[in-house]
Structure 1
Amino acid sequence: MLENAPDGTFGGKEEASRGLLATGGFETARTFEETKHLEVSGAGFAAGNMLNLTLIVGIDVDSIDLSKITINGIALNPKLDSYVLSEDKKTIIIKLHDGFQLTSKTPAIAVNGLKTQFGNGVKNDESNNKAKIPCRERI
Structure 2
Amino acid sequence: MTRIITLLNEKNHYLEKFYSLNEVELANFAQGQFDNLEHFYQTRERILDVLKYVDAQIERAHAEVAQAGTISETDRRDVKEALDIKDEYVARIIEQDIQVLACIEMAKNSIIKELQEVRRNRKAVGGYKTKTFQNRLNEEV
Q: Which has the higher strand share?
A: 1
Smaller-chain TM-score bracket: under 0.3
Q: Which has the higher helix share?
A: 2
| TM-score (norm. length: structure 1) | 0.22
Which structure is higher in RCO with an 8 Å CA cutoff and minimum separation 6? 2
